[in-house]
Chain A
Amino acid sequence: MIFPVIEARPEEPSLAIDPALTAEWLVAFLRDEMCERRGIDRAVIALSGGIDSALVAYLCARALGPEHVYAIRMPYRSSSADSLRDAQRVIDALGIHGETIEISEAVDGYLRFAPDADARRKGNVMARMRMLALFDQSARRGALPVGTGNKTERLMGYFTWHADDTPPLNPIGDLFKTQVWALARYLGVPQEVVDKAPSADLEANQTDEGDLGITYAKADRILNMILLGFKDEAIVARGLSPEEVQLVRRRVDATHWKRHLPTTALVSSTAINEFYLRPVDF
């Protein structure tokens, strides 16, 4: 007699999300944290034309109503025209407020004092200028800036510190990029925005995956397993190469500091957030 055999293989933790449940949860998050906790029912979002900020705009429109959402486009002179056009698609589809604030003069005004700035420094200046403008626009409207960084870029350190990460709320910061895609499709983010290659749009023809040296699909699988405590060999056994695993792990390990507040010298037994401990919503 030949017995039928069931052979279990090493499973990989799933990255699948139920988009309806996720949307409901994040909309509740926005309502509670904005309207109930802070008494603010208006959001400003730096709308880049990419999928992350588009998704946040969709979530905010659901949570607050489109009339309470202000999308600010902040192009630099070298920004892609496609980005502006794709941001407009989101504004039109949702019926949210849209405004364009050119940052070229402000950025160039500073860069006149930094003629040696390379592309990386220029990119950081642009990101910080956008954040400066976003916070001022929020004050102008009695609104709250809402962040758009996803979990993948946070873990890879692929953002400008004290720029992209500064808004006091972020509904998608615990979603990997591939989960952002899934949720964006569910919410009906325009196909052109969902399908295009993600880019920081700081330089011509720049793509995230080119900068990172790995696809988001692979990076997310590796990151998920790293966070769940898988050792490198266990990740490789699930179909990723040792080089890919090392690349991702190095980026995570080199950027822990970017996910924290500034390091403060502790000299007392009342140090803030060390001994004096209060939750953020207290």
Chain B
Amino acid sequence: MINAALVQFKPRKGEVEANLATVADVFAQLAADPPALIVFPEAALTGYFLEGAVYELAFETDALAARIDALWRASGAPGAVDVVLGFYENALGTFHNAALAVRCGEPGGARIQHVHRKMFLPTYGVFDEERFLTRGRRLGTYESAFGCTAVLICEDAWHSLTATVAALKGARLIIIPSASPGRGLGAVGELESNARWKAILSSMASEHGVYVLYSALTGFEGGKGMSGGTCAFSPRGDLIATAPALGAQIVRIALDPDEVDLARATLPLLGDLAAVLPDLWLDEEIPVVRRFEERV
């Protein structure tokens, strides 16, 4: 079994050091019984809505990985841990909404496992990401403590194709750092946006036979309430555990790699898709490749 901890909290807006101190608090709390994997939300070090201040508060990946590693070591926890943390990335003057996957606590120091740059930057309604950020161009996988893993950030996960691609590339675990302004008070007991999230995550998990871990910001940012609901879904699509919408929370779960095998054996949709995909993909009516006249 692989133990994981999903963290939900409200960062102090723009106060990077205070938020790193919160990361340290989480590490200290978990140090006595450390999990193999810790997931923090999207934009965890700054808050989500930054507008032009993103250029002042973005991190270079190497520097951030070293800080997180140092915090883990300072916690006194034995051994190594995989940390996934959402942050704004400064990649030599190109700015991304990104998530860092880093193994902390190894003898050689921080080992960056993966950086996912958010591909779908919501720029409509309350969202304005692409005004300030550049979209990622690649959906990769990496070897985490659990095995083959992919990271999607927030709206990345609202497109069923991203999880499909990740699963086809071998992902058995999909980690989703998120920052989702809650809306819709018409449903009983749960924000409509959170109910939508859970439907998406459950469907993603059961269609591909993957564990899905969702870690979200909570608390209000200038009237917009981040809707928490940090949760985990089994490869059969069942909700394993969830946090409420409001309040800081750590959700601890145990992931069993055998569950992925069993789910895929019982419902082999991913294998079916791999077999049929060439027929779907080569359909000329799907605009997979832009025609020349559209490019110029």
Show the binding face of A for B, using Cβ within 8 Å. Answer: 14-18, 20-22, 24-25, 28-29, 32-33, 36-37, 276-282
Contacts and interface: CB of A to CB of B under 8 A. Distances in A.
Q: Which has the most chain B C-beta neighbours within 10 Å: A17, A22, A282?
A: A282
B223 A33 contact: yes
Contacts of B221: 279, 281
Contacts of B93: none
A280 B14 CA distance: 12
B63 interface: no
A29 B220 contact: yes
A21 B51 contact: no
Contacts of B219: 28, 32, 36
Contact of A277 (B14, B52, B191, B246): B52
A21 B50 contact: no
Interface of B: 10, 13-14, 47, 49-53, 182, 185-191, 219-223, 225, 245-246
B49 A279 contact: yes
A14 B188 CA distance: 13
A16 B245 CA distance: 20
Main secondary structure of the interface of B (DSSP, over half): loop
Contact of A29 (B10, B185, B191, B225): B225
Given A21-B190, A25-B225, A28-B225, A281 B13 contact: yes
Contacts of B47: 281
Q: List the 6 closest pairs (A to B, CB-CB), nearest first.
A: A32-B220, A277-B51, A281-B222, A277-B52, A280-B222, A17-B185
Contact of A16 (B10, B186, B222, B225): B186
Contacts of B185: 17-18, 21-22, 25
Contacts of A15: 186
A282 B14 contact: yes
A11 to B, nearest CB: 13
A20 B187 CA distance: 11
Q: Which has the most chain B C-beta neighbours within 10 Å: A24, A25, A276?
A: A25
Contact of B53 (A14, A17, A28, A278): A278
Contacts of B49: 279, 281
B52 A276 contact: yes
Contacts of B52: 276-278
A17 B51 CA distance: 31
Contacts of A280: 222-223
B53 A282 contact: yes
A154 to B, nearest CB: 14
Nearest to A19: B185
A15 B13 CA distance: 33
A21 B222 contact: no
Contacts of B187: 18, 21
A36 B189 CA distance: 25
B86 to A, nearest CB: 17
A279 B188 contact: no
B8 to A, nearest CB: 14
B157 to A, nearest CB: 23
Given A25-B182, A277-B51, A18 B220 contact: no
B222 A17 contact: no
Contacts of B13: 37, 279, 281-282
A128 to B, nearest CB: 24
Contact of B188 (A18, A37, A278, A281): A18
7 contacts: A16-B186, A22-B185, A32-B219, A33-B223, A278-B51, A281-B13, A281-B47
Contacts of B189: 18, 20-21
A24 B187 CA distance: 14
Nearest to B218: A28
A24 B51 contact: no
Nearest to B14: A282
B128 to A, nearest CB: 9
A15 B245 CA distance: 22
Contacts of A32: 10, 219-220, 225
Contacts of A279: 13, 49-51, 53, 221-222
A53 B141 CA distance: 53
A282 B52 CA distance: 11
A80 to B, nearest CB: 32
A47 B49 CA distance: 33
A8 B93 CA distance: 54
B201 to A, nearest CB: 20
Given A28-B219, A29-B223, 17 more contacts: A15-B186, A17-B185, A18-B186, A18-B188, A18-B189, A20-B189, A24-B246, A25-B225, A28-B225, A32-B10, A33-B220, A37-B13, A278-B51, A278-B52, A279-B49, A281-B49, A282-B51
Q: Which has the most chain A C-beta neighbours within 10 Å: B50, B53, B223?
A: B223
Nearest to A273: B51
A254 to B, nearest CB: 24
B188 A28 contact: no
B230 to A, nearest CB: 16
Contacts of A36: 10, 219
B125 to A, nearest CB: 12
A22 B187 CA distance: 10
Contacts of A25: 182, 185, 191, 225, 245-246
